[in-house]
């Protein structure tokens, strides 16, 4: 497990990898931590080598989205996201999470499944595997399992019913992020030449889709009995009036906040994924990441409780 230590990224390392632009604001876009395996195989060139800036591969696609984010910012200027008394739109304080409720083992047919609500964002995660590689055998890796993620949104998940075809750019991107997050957390080396499928569906969307998916999928993976290094907990944070806001809801996300999504392995404090599409002054980045980590640790506590309770229920059923 030495490599886990090597994986541990601290904030200065991240800062070094982030492009600082002419005006001293940073656009993190997406920083992905490649799976453990690729870390080990890459040259040990310090932490720098372990981080792959997805801006190279995804930069073009994401850059297109930036003006869109800006235009939103203009439209939604009408909402006061944080009142002088320190309350947010929905009555939470800055660091408070939404109410998290979860159940494991919701489907019998799948190997593992979980349903998770974070406020009004609701997601269903289902895990199959590990099993033999389906389809082309050439995808198989000789020393570890392939993780296959698929993200989708229900047609009824948003305010307006909308057909969402598979494989549109947004969901492909999200699938890739999920895949990379779980490659960093699942101990894939235990299952060489096999495949693990993770399917996540957003049933209702109210901000923080990525983090809810990660949290739900974690529970599903645990339910499937696949060993992981730690829970992967994710949370978004936004930055308003010099204050980081934890776990943004949709109104806040679209209200022109620079938001950052972070997936964390809480026990070791390792960052599995860090993503930010908006621009932010580099001085604030550290505070924001700090707040995101605290929020993720909060989520992990809830997940842990859910798992323990589930375990108790299951064991009482089997009479142990």
Partner 1 sequence: MLKSKTFVKKTRSGGVMKIVREHYLRDDIWCGSEACSGCKQESTVLQTDACMESSLCSYPHYLVPDTNVVLHQIDVLEDPVIRNVIILQTVLQEVRHRSAPVYKRLKDVLHEKEKHFYTFTNEHHRETFIDREPGESANDRNDRAIRVAAKWYSQHLKTFECDKDGLKVVLLTNDQGNKQKAEESGLLVYKCEEYIKSLIANPELVDRLALSNDDKNEIGSSKVLFPEHLPLSRIQAGIKCGSFLQGTFRASRDNYLEATVFVQGEGDDSTEVLLQGLQNLNRAVHQDVVAVQLLPRSQWVAPSSVVLQDEGAAKDDDVEEEEEEKALRISAAEAARKPTGKVVGIIKRNWRPFCGMLNVSQIKESTRHLFTPADRRVPRIRIETRQASTLAGHRIMVAIDGWPKDSRYPNGHFVRSLGSAGEKDTEQEVLLLEHDVPHQAFSQAVLSFLPKMPWAITPEDMVRREDLRHLSVCSVDPPGCTDIDDALHCRELENGNLEVGVHIADVSHFIRPSNALDKEAASRGTTVYLCGKRIDMVPELLSSNLCSLRSNVERFAFSCIWEMNHKAEVLKTRFTKSAINSKASLTYAEAQMRIDDTNMNDEITKSLRGLNKLAKTLKRQRIDKGALTLSSLEVRFHMDSETHDPIDLQTKELMETNSMVEEFMLLANISVAQKIYDEFSECALLRKHPAPPPSNYDILLKAAKSKDVEIHTDSAKALADSLDGAKVDGFPYFNTLLRILATRCMMQAVYFCSGMDSDFHHYGLASPIYTHFTSPIRRYADIIVHRLLAVAIGADSTYPDLMDKHKQSALCNNLNYRHKMSQYAQRASVAFHTQLFFKSRGILNEEGYVLFVRKNAIIVLIPKFGLEGTVFFDTKGKTVPNLVFDEEGPTLSVEQHIFCIFDKVKVTITLDDSNVQHQKIRMSLIEPVITGVSVPAPDAEPQAKKLKLDN
Residues that bind partner 1 (CB under 8 A): 22-25, 80, 83-85, 87, 89-92, 96, 98-99, 119-120, 159-160, 206, 249, 251, 279, 281-283
Q: Which residue number, 40 or 164, has a Cβ lying nearer to partner 1?
A: 164
Phi and psi at residue 166, in whole multiples of 5°?
-70, 150
Distance between CA 291 and CA 301 in Å, rounded?
16
CB of 161 to partner 1, least distance (A): 11
Percent helix, strand, coil in the chain (nearest 5)? Answer: 40, 30, 30
Nearest residue (CB) to partner 1, 18 versus 147: 18
Q: Cβ closer to partner 1: 249 or 288?
A: 249
Report the relative pairing of strands 146-153 and 194-204 from DSSP bridges.
parallel
As measured in angstroms, the least distance from the Cβ of 190 to partner 1 is 39
Nearer to partner 1, 83 or 312 (CB): 83
Structure tokens at 141: 């890796």
Contacts of 253 (CB under 8 A, 6+ apart): 207, 208, 236, 238, 259
Nearer to partner 1 by C-beta: 56 or 160?
Answer: 160
- Shortest reach from residue 92's CB to partner 1, in Å: 6
For the residues of 288-309, what is the DSSP string, one character each? HHHHHHHHHHHHHHHHHHHHHH
Report helix, strand or coil for 274: strand
HSE-CB for 280 with a 13 A CA cutoff: 30
Distance CA(282)–CA(56), nearest Å, equals 20
CB of 295 to partner 1, least distance (A): 15
Q: Which is nearer to partner 1, 108 or 159 (CB)?
A: 159
Shortest spacing between CB 1 and partner 1, in angstroms: 37
Nearest to 149 by CA among 172, 121, 170: 172
Least CB distance from residue 91 to partner 1, whole Å?
4
């Amino acid at each position: 497990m030495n490599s886990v230590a090597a994986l541990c990224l601290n904030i200065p390392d991240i800062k070094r990898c982030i492009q600082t632009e002419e005006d001293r604001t940073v656009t993190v876009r997406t920083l992905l931590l490649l799976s453990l395996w690729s870390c080990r195989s890459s040259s040990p060139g310090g932490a720098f080598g372990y981080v792959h800036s997805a801006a190279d591969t995804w930069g073009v696609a994401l850059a297109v989205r930036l003006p869109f984010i800006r235009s939103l910012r203009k439209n939604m200027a009408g909402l006061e996201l944080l009142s002088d008394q320190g309350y947010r739109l929905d009555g939470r304080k800055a660091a408070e999470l939404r109410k998290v409720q979860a159940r494991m083992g919701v489907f019998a047919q799948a190997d593992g499944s979980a349903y998770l609500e974070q406020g009004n964002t609701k997601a269903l995660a289902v895990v199959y595997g590990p099993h033999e590689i389906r389809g082309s055998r050439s995808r198989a890796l000789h020393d570890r399992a392939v993780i296959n993620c698929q993200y989708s949104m229900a047609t009824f998940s948003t305010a307006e019913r909308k057909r969402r075809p598979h494989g549109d750019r947004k969901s492909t991107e999200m699938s890739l992020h999920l895949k990379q997050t779980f490659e960093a957390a699942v101990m894939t080396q235990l299952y060489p030449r096999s495949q693990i499928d993770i399917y996540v569906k957003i049933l209702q969307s109210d901000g923080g889709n990525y983090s809810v998916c990660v949290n739900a999928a974690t529970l599903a993976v645990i339910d499937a009995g696949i060993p992981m290094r730690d829970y992967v907990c994710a949370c978004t944070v936004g930055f308003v009036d010099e204050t980081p806001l934890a776990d943004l809801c949709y109104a806040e996300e679209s209200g022109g906040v620079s938001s950052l999504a972070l997936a964390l392995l809480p026990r070791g404090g390792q960052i599995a994924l860090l993503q930010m599409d908006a621009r932010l002054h580099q001085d604030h980045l550290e505070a924001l990441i700090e707040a995101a980590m605290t929020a993720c640790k909060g989520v992990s506590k809830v997940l842990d409780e859910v798992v323990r309770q589930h375990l108790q229920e299951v064991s009482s059923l089997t009479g142990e």
